[in-house]
Amino acid sequence: MRWIRRTIALLLGLLLVAACGLESGGAIPLQVGPGSIRPVPALDGVRITVGSKAFTEQLILGYLIEFALSAAGASIRDLTNIQGSSSMRDAQLLGQIDLAYDYTGTGWITYLGHETPVPGAIRQFQAVRAADLVEHGMLWTAMAPMNNTYALATSTQTAQETGVRTLSDYAGLAATDPDAAAVCVGTEFNVRRDGFPGMTRAYGIAGDKIPKRIVQDAVVYQAVADGTQCRFGSVNATDGRIPALRLVVLRDDRDFFPKYNAALVMREKFADKYPQITTIMEPISRRLTNETITELNRQVDVDGREPAEVARDWLVAQGFVTIR
């Protein structure tokens, strides 16, 4: 019965992916030449489809893959900017995407259905890698040190006025003055197990008592900084708008949120056929620290630069590729 349910789920996913227009794709947005990444004969002319989700960091990560493999000689098909984790995951399972960067916490909680994260970045990665390979034939590799975990943030002014610095402090505020704990949450964070429902359970917060606005993720940051619509909000820890708007990230003192290290994900058969991809991407992943990716995100979300240009210019500055 399990294989029947899985088949039905994949067929429904195929309909969703097709409805999203993912059957088309596009060309790589900018051209690059070899740098320290040299042409790889085994990848020469190989058509590789790269995907990403539809937010700044994911777009940057997707373009990093595209430019790196293009410099190695592959023919890239661009399927970045997919709405939602589940849609991108379905596209990968269905073979419409060959590889993408994804997050270990998302893999463990959302894709594999576990309630409790595994402590530690390495252990979380190893657990996801082992389970997803067995259950779905998906290989996780080339993990980066960057950890884009979910978090709750507030403005510097609100932190000073309330003294709230940790999620336990926030729980105390919500219990004594729910209106003062008004929160804006992104659409995914509002429903995910590793988002608002799980966070409120872990900290004993009566989530239904707090004034809550469900908004697009991009809206949360300025809304929290202004303090008009909400005093607290869900953020991603590596978002460039956090330092730009001088937001204060509340410490997760009960370690509820999983680690969300970025790692390359592809089907096992594809990885076995092209092991050179991991070799190319590992040095890039190693340099993707929280500080690095936050700065790249800031250049897009604050300075208004294009994600593809930011990704390309960083690869050029690191010597991986050259501008053609």
Q: What is the architecture of the domain spanning 2-147+259-323?
A: 3-Layer(aba) Sandwich (3.40)
Compute the distance between CA of residue 154 and CA of residue 251 in angstroms, rounded to an integer. Answer: 11
pLDDT digits 0-9 by tens, 93-112: 999 999 999 999 999 988 99
| Confidence (pLDDT) at 324 | 86
By DSSP bridging, strand 321-323 and strand 150-155 are unpaired
Asked whether the predicted pLDDT for residue 181 surpasses 90, the reply is yes
For residue 45, give Cα distances in angstroms to 39, 49, 98, 302.
Answer: 11, 12, 15, 37
Asked whether the predicted pLDDT for residue 22 surpasses 80, the reply is no
Give me the chain's average pLDDT, please.
Answer: 92
Q: Is 127 left (phi over 0), alpha (psi -120 to 50) or beta?
A: alpha
pLDDT digits 0-9 by tens, 28-76: 999 999 999 999 999 999 999 999 999 999 999 999 999 999 999 999 9
pLDDT digits 0-9 by tens, 141-154: 999 999 999 999 99
| Confidence (pLDDT) at 4 | 41
Compute the distance between CA of residue 288 and CA of residue 296 in angstroms, rounded to an integer. Answer: 10
| Confidence (pLDDT) at 155 | 97
pLDDT digits 0-9 by tens, 151-168: 999 999 999 999 999 999
| Confidence (pLDDT) at 24 | 56
The pair phi, psi for residue 56, each rounded to 5°, is -50, -55
Mean pLDDT of 273-278: 98
* Domains in the chain: boundaries: 2-147+259-323, 150-249
Which of these ranges, 10-14, 21-25, 102-106, 266-270, has the smallest mean pLDDT?
Answer: 10-14
Do 150-249 and 2-147+259-323 have the same topology in CATH?
yes
DSSP one-letter string for 280-293: HHHHHHHT--HHHH
pLDDT digits 0-9 by tens, 196-250: 999 999 999 998 999 999 998 889 999 999 998 899 999 999 999 999 999 999 9
pTM for the whole structure: 0.84
Which of these ranges, 10-24, 131-145, 175-189, 268-282, has the smallest mean pLDDT?
Answer: 10-24
Asked whether the predicted pLDDT for residue 135 surpasses 50, the reply is yes
Helix (H) or strand (E) holding 77: strand 75-82
Which of these ranges, 22-31, 107-116, 263-272, 284-293, has the smallest mean pLDDT?
Answer: 22-31
CATH match for 150-249 among 2.130.10.10, 3.40.50.450, 3.40.190.120, 3.90.1150.10: 3.40.190.120
| Paired tokens of 267 | 């089907």
| Confidence (pLDDT) at 192 | 84
Q: What angle do CA 44, 49, 52 make, to 5 degrees?
A: 135
